[in-house]
Chain A
Amino acid sequence: MIAHLPALQVVIPLLAAPACILVRGRDLAFWLALVTTWAAFLVSCLLLDQVMASGVISYELGGWAAPFGIEYRVDALNAFVLLIVSGIGAVVLPFTPRSLLIEMVGEKAYLFYCAFLLCVTGLLGVAITGDAFNLFVFMEISSLASCILISLGPHRRALTAAFQYLIVGTIGATFIVIGIGLIYGATGTLNMNDIAERLPQTGYNRTVIAAFAFLIVGAAIKLALFPLHFWLPKAYTYAPSTVSAFLAATATKVGVYVLIRFLFTVFGVEFSFEVLPTAFPLMLLAVLAMFVASTIAIFQDSVKRMLAYSSVAQIGYMVLGLSLVTVDGLTASMVHLFNHALMKGALFLAIGCIAYRQASFRIEDFAGMGKRMPWTMAAFTAGGLSLIGIPLTAGFISKWYLILAALAADEPLIAALIVISSLLAVIYVWRVVEAAYFRKPPPDAPAGEAPLSLLIPTWILIALNVYFGIETSLPVGVAEHAARALMGAGP
C-alpha cells in the first residue's frame, strides 16, 4: 500500500470523479467527494512524511521503467505542492453544499463534484509526475475541469470568463506542449530527470533555447505572471466563491511549481540563469506585477475582483523570490506559495460566506458588514492582515523571508520594493475593512451570520494562517529542503 502511494494520490480522485456521476444523488456525491479529497490529503501527508524521512520517491507507473515508462517522482518540492493542493481541496470542499445552493442550481451538484475531483486530479497529477508530456496532459485535465467550475458562477458573465480562460489556458498549454516537443526532438526523452541529464551533452543549441522560451511563456500564462495575467481577474471574479477559493489557492501555485520545475530541474540553474539572462526579466515582471496589480486592486469597486488582482500581485512575490536564484530566494518563494494559498483561500471563502447573504460584492455594499456578519468579517479582516503581512500571521513569515533573501542577495532596492508594495496591500485591504466596520449599513441590508458549514472551513484557514505565522517549521523546513535540492546544493 505504502509503496503505491504516488499512484494512489492521483488514482483515487480520478476514479472517484466518474463515480460521482454514477451515484447521482446530491448528498451521496458530496460525501464521496469529501471522503476522496480527505483521502488524497492523507496520502499527500504520508508522502511528505516519507520524502522528508527517506528522500526522493520514484514510482514506475505500471511497472515500466523510466525513461520509457512514466515515472512519478516525489521530492520535497512535489510533496509540498501536493500537500497544498490536497489540503486546500479538503478544507474547501465542505464549504460547497451550502454555498452551491445559493450560487447555482443545486440539482446537478453531482456534476460539480465530478468536475471538482477532476480538477484536483489534474493539479495533483501535474505536481507528482516526472514525465514532461504527462504533465501537459494533467495540466489540460485540470484546466478543462476548472473551466467548467468557473462557468458555474451565478452571473452569466461566468460563461464568458470561462470561455476566455479556456482559450488562454489552451494557448498556454499548447506553448508548453510545443516546448516539450522541441526538447524531445533535442534530447529524445520525456522524463524530466533524464532531460536534465542529457541537456548538457546535447549542448545548448537553438532548438533548446526555443523550447525554453515556449515552456517559460506557457508556464507564465498558466500562473498569470504579469502581463499575461488578463484572464485571471475575470475568472476569479465570476466563478463561484468556492471555486475562486480553490483555484486561487492551488491552480496558480501549480503554475509556479511548473515554472520552478522547468527552470531549476529540467533546464538547470546553469542554463536558465547563466547561459540565458532569465533572472532579470523575471524579476522585472515580478516587480511590475507587484506594483501594477496592487495599484489596480486599489481602484476596484468589487471586493472579489480586488482579491483577484491581489492574487496577480502576490504571484509577483513568488516569482520575485525565485528570480533571485539563491537558496534563500527559492525558500521564500515556496514559503509564500504555501502561505498565500492559506490567505487567499481564507479570503475567498469569507467572500463565499458573504455571497450567502447578498449577491453584490461591491465595496459600498460592504457597509456595516462588521455588525451584520461579525464572524465572517472578522475572518476577512484576519485574512487581510495576513495578506498585508502583519506579524503573527503567515503573511509576515513570507515577507520576512523574502526581504531577508533580497538583502542576502545584495538587492536592497528589491527589499525596499517588497516593503512598499505591501503598503499598497494595506490600502486595498483597509478600504474594505473601513467600509465594513466604520460605515453604517443601509437599513434594508441583509443581516445574519453565514451557517456554520461555511464559517468553519473559513476559520480553519484563518487559524492555519495564524498557526503558520507562529510555528513555521513545516513550510520553512520543507521549502528549505526543496530549495537546496533545486539549487544543487544537496538535500
Chain B
Amino acid sequence: MSVELAMAVALLGPLAGAALIALFGRRPNLRDGAMIAASVVTFLAVYRVLPAVDAGGRPELFLFDFVPGLGIRFVVEPLGMLFALVASFLWIVTSFYAIGYMRGHHEENQTRFYICFAIAISAALGVAMSGNMLTLFIAYEVLTLSTYPLVTHHQSPESMRAGRTYLGILLSTSIGLQLVGIVWTYGATGTLDFTPGGILAGKVEGWALIVLLFLYMYGIGKAALMPIHRWLPAAMVAPTPVSALLHAVAVVKAGVFTVLKVAIYIFGVDYLSETGASTWLMYVAGATIVIASVVALTKDNLKARLAYSTVSQLSYVVLGAALATSWSVVGGAMHIAMHAFGKITLFFCAGAIMVAAHKTEISDMGGLGRRMPLTFAAFAIGALSVTGLPPLGGAWSKWYLGLGAADAEQLIFVAVLMISSLLNVAYLIPVAARAFISEKREGDPVPQPAGAAVAHADHDDEGGGIREAPMFCVVPLCLTAVGCLALFFAADDIAAFLAPIAQR
C-alpha cells in the first residue's frame, strides 16, 4: 500500500465504517464488529504513513481545485501525524469502551450514534492531514456538524439546549471569525497552503496582524479559550464515550491542533515572536488556565469538573503557540498527545463509575475505590498524568512548555504553569483519594428524594452490589492508563519526531 493510498484509506476508512454500521443497523453484533474493524483498519492506515513522515517526507493527496489555485489538499507533516495517530489509536480503544458503555446503559439510537461517531473521526483525521487552511476549515465544520447529534443524543430538552449552545458557539465563531480570517489571509497572500515559516510575513503587519490573530484564535472555538469555552461543559450531556473521545481528544484537540497549525504554518513562529502580535494571547491563555482550574474546583459533577479541567489544559497548547518559541511549540504539540491519553482515561473512569455505580457526583463516590479498584487506580494515574508528575507522560509536555516560557523570557507563565499544576492536584487527586481512603460512615445522611423507598432499598445493599464495570469498559481504561506511563518513556522520540515543526 503506497503512502498516498494509506492516507486515502485513513480518511475514508471511518466513512466506510459509517456506511457498514448503517447497513448492519439491525444486527448489533455485526454492526459493532464493523465499527471495530473500521477503527483498526484506519489506525493501520495512519500508521503506514508514519515511516514516510519520520523520514522527512510530506506525503500529499490532492483532490480537486475549489477556487482556482485553492483546492482540497491533504499533506501530512509531523504535527498532523501525531494528532492522527493519537486520534485513530484512541478510536479503537473507545470503540470497545463505547460498546460496553452503550449496552451497559441501554442507550437508544445506538446506530445513529456510531455513524456520527465514525464521521466525526473521519473529520478529525481530515483536520489532522489537511494541507491548506480551507481543507482544514471544511473538516473542522464537518466535525462540528457530525458531533451535534452526539451531544443531543438523549433528545431531552436539556440536551437540546446544550446542543444549541454547542452548535451556536462553534458555528458562529468558525463562520463569523475564522472564515473571515481565512478569506482575509487569502486576499492578502493569495494562498492558504500550510508553509513552514508562515505565509503572512511581510504581507500583514502591525495592528492588522493582531486583529487577524484574534480572528483565528477566537474563530477556533474548539480550542475553548475563555470566554468562548461554554460549549465544552454544555457538551457533557452527551454519553460518556463522546465526552471521552470527542470532547477530550478529537474535537478539542482538533481545536488546539488548528491553533498550532495556524501559529506555525500561517503566521510563522518567528514572525509571531518578532512582532509580538501574540502577547495578548499569552495572557488570555494564562488566564484561561488558572480560571478554568478554579472553576473546576467548584464542580461536584465529575464530568463537569473534567470538562473545566479540559478547558484549562487546552490553553496549555494555546499558550505554547502564543509563546512562539521552538520549545513551547514542541511542548504544545506534545501536550496534545499527553493530555489526550490522560484525559480519556479520566473520562473512561467517569463513564465506568456511571455504568457500574450510577454515580455522577464526586461527593457520592467516597469509598467506591474498594469496590472498583482498577477503575480508580486508572483514575489516579490519569489524574497524575494530567497534573504533570513523573513518571507519567504529562510531565514532559509541561516541562517543554516551561522551558519555552523561560526561553521567551516570560517567567510569569512559568508561575502560571506551576499554579495550575497545584490546582490540578487540588481538583483531581481528591477524587481518587476519597474513593480509596474515606469510609462511608454509618448513618451518614444520604441526600435522596423523599418517598423513594425503592431507591432506598437499593441503596442499602449498594456496598455489596457495586462491582467493576463490564470488561468492555475496564480494559480500555486500563490500556490508556498504561499508555500514560508508556508516553513518559517515549517522550524523547516524540520530541525528536516533532523537531522539524520548530525548525527555524
Contact = CB atoms under 8 A, between A and B. Distances in A.
Interface string B147-185: 001001001000010011001000110011001100110
B138 A391 contact: yes
A176 to B, nearest CB: 36
B220 to A, nearest CB: 15
Contacts of B167: 426, 430
**A contact face: mostly helix, strand, loop, or mixed:** helix
Contacts of A204: none
Contacts of B176: 419-420, 423
A416 interface: yes
Looking at chain B, what size class is its interface with the partner chain?
20 to 34
Contact of B175 (A426, A434, A473): A426
Contact of B172 (A404, A423, A438, A470): A423
Interface string A412-438: 000110011011001000100010011
A426 B180 contact: no
B183 A404 contact: yes
Contacts of A102: none
A292 interface: no
B375 to A, nearest CB: 33
A397 interface: yes
Contacts of A392: 138
A196 interface: no
B160 A434 contact: yes
Interface in A371-407: 388-392, 397, 399-400, 403-404, 407
B160 A419 contact: no
B67 interface: yes
Given A438-B155, A438-B160, A423 B180 contact: no
Contacts of A416: 180
A49 interface: no
Given A408-B187, A415-B180, A416-B180, A391 B137 contact: yes
Given A391-B138, A423-B171, A472-B66, A403 B155 contact: no
B141 A438 contact: no
Contacts of A407: 183-184, 187
Interface residues of A, number: 30
B62 interface: no
Interface in B110-141: 134, 137-138, 141
B186 interface: yes
Contacts, number: 61
B64 interface: yes
Nearest to B177: A419
Given A407-B187, A438-B160, A423 B175 contact: yes
Given A400-B183, A403-B179, A390 B141 contact: yes
B180 A472 contact: no
Counting chain A CB atoms within 10 Å of each CB, the highest count among B68, B138, B160, B187 belongs to B187
Nearest to A392: B138
A471 B171 CA distance: 25
B108 to A, nearest CB: 12
A84 B163 CA distance: 38
Given A426-B171, A426-B172, A397 B152 contact: no
Nearest to A469: B66
Contact of A471 (B64, B179, B180): B64
A434 to B, nearest CB: 7
A74 B67 CA distance: 27
B183 A415 contact: yes
B175 A404 contact: no
22 contacts: A390-B145, A391-B137, A397-B67, A404-B186, A404-B187, A407-B184, A407-B187, A408-B187, A415-B183, A420-B176, A422-B175, A423-B175, A426-B172, A434-B163, A438-B149, A438-B152, A438-B160, A438-B163, A440-B155, A470-B66, A472-B66, A472-B67
Instruction: List 10 A-B pairs, minimum CB-CB distance, nearest first.
Output: A391-B138, A403-B183, A407-B187, A423-B172, A419-B176, A419-B180, A438-B155, A426-B171, A438-B152, A404-B183
Interface of B: 64, 66-68, 134, 137-138, 141, 145, 149, 152, 155, 160, 163-164, 167, 171-172, 175-176, 179-180, 183-184, 186-187
